[in-house]
Amino acid sequence: MASIKTLQQAVTNITIWRKGEQRAPHKPLLLLYVLAGYQNGHGRLFNYGTEIRDNLHVLLERFGPQRAQYRPDLPFWRLQGDGFWELQNAEHCSTSGSSRQPPARELLEHNVAGGFDEQHYSLLIKSKNLIDSVAQQILETHFTESIQEELADELGFNILQIRKQRDPLFRQQVLRAYNYECAICGFNMRHDNASVALEAAHIKWKQYGGPCDIPNGLALCAIHHKAFDKGSIGLDENMRLQVSEAVNGSGIVGRLFWDFQGKAISLPQTKALYPQEGFVEWHRREVFKG
């Protein structure tokens, strides 16, 4: 029987599918897209060719790691194994290959449509709160806080508790190690004694096992923090700033970004507290859009 429990369990299962440290946002982004549709009154099934393919491709490009190609057909087909996802017209596709996944064009040719099964769908459409809480569970498991916020805003989910997960000790230790200044631009505004818009960024996301320790942290102003989480900027092996070619804008944007391109960031006094290359390398591979 479908219940709120089996739904939450199913969402936990898509986490298990994740390949170790590599970001695999395909299933999470597809589910978020579909849940957002339900919230806006969309029917149970989504047509792959006309509704899913291009929209999921855009989400993968924007919120996934940089890859040579994106395959929106993979999660759409493979979610069938997760116990709550149903496809219509799938029986017309050929699944004789070793991957048991038909060529993507067959999903178009046979008008394959997919969505939650009847039981889970009827649970979901009864409660906007349930949709929000399932969406929140997916967001928290797969994306760092600033990206959770961005996705929730864009897809229209009500996410209330993002800030609660933040670790105050991590913030305090990281800001102190970096002398209460942005490691990139030196921003250090205070209002009386309180730092304003200065944040402790995780280099490797907590969602992928990045610890809340100084060697996995950077003190960044709010703008550089957001840009770092977004993959607009990254660091090379020598802790020099790399700016993505996707960055554009005029005036102050040039001064905040291109002026620091190739420049070494400010580091803590003690070498033991420097960012660890393993974490920086993860960020370069899974987040930075070079």
Binding site for Zn ion (CB under 5 A): 182, 184-185, 187, 221, 224
90 neighbors 76 (Cβ within 8 angstroms)? no
What is the CB-side half-sphere exposure of residue 35 using CA atoms within 13 A? 31
- The CA–CA distances, whole Å, from 188 to 134, 174, 264, 269 equal 38, 14, 18, 17
Please identify, using beta-carbon distances, which residue of 106 and 199 lies nearer to Zn ion: 199
**Nearest distance from residue 175's CB to Zn ion, in Å?**
13
Q: Where does residue 66 rank: exposed (0-12), middle (13-18), buried (19+ CB within 10 A)? A: middle
Please identify, using beta-carbon distances, which residue of 174 and 221 lies nearer to Zn ion: 221
Please identify, using beta-carbon distances, which residue of 31 and 221 lies nearer to Zn ion: 221
Please identify, using beta-carbon distances, which residue of 123 and 182 lies nearer to Zn ion: 182
Please identify, using beta-carbon distances, which residue of 204 and 224 lies nearer to Zn ion: 224
**Nearest distance from residue 205's CB to Zn ion, in Å?**
20
**Nearest distance from residue 259's CB to Zn ion, in Å?**
11
**Nearest distance from residue 222's CB to Zn ion, in Å?**
8
Please identify, using beta-carbon distances, which residue of 67 and 255 lies nearer to Zn ion: 255
Residues facing 217 on adjacent strands:
202
**Nearest distance from residue 12's CB to Zn ion, in Å?**
37
How far apart, in whole angstroms, are the C-alpha atoms of residue 217 and residue 210? Answer: 9
How far apart, in whole angstroms, are the C-alpha atoms of residue 95 and residue 103? Answer: 9
DSSP letter string over 141-188?
Answer: HHS-HHHHHHHHHHHT-----GGGG--HHHHHHHHHHTTTS-TTT---
**Nearest distance from residue 225's CB to Zn ion, in Å?**
8
How far apart, in whole angstroms, are the C-alpha atoms of residue 287 and residue 229? Answer: 7
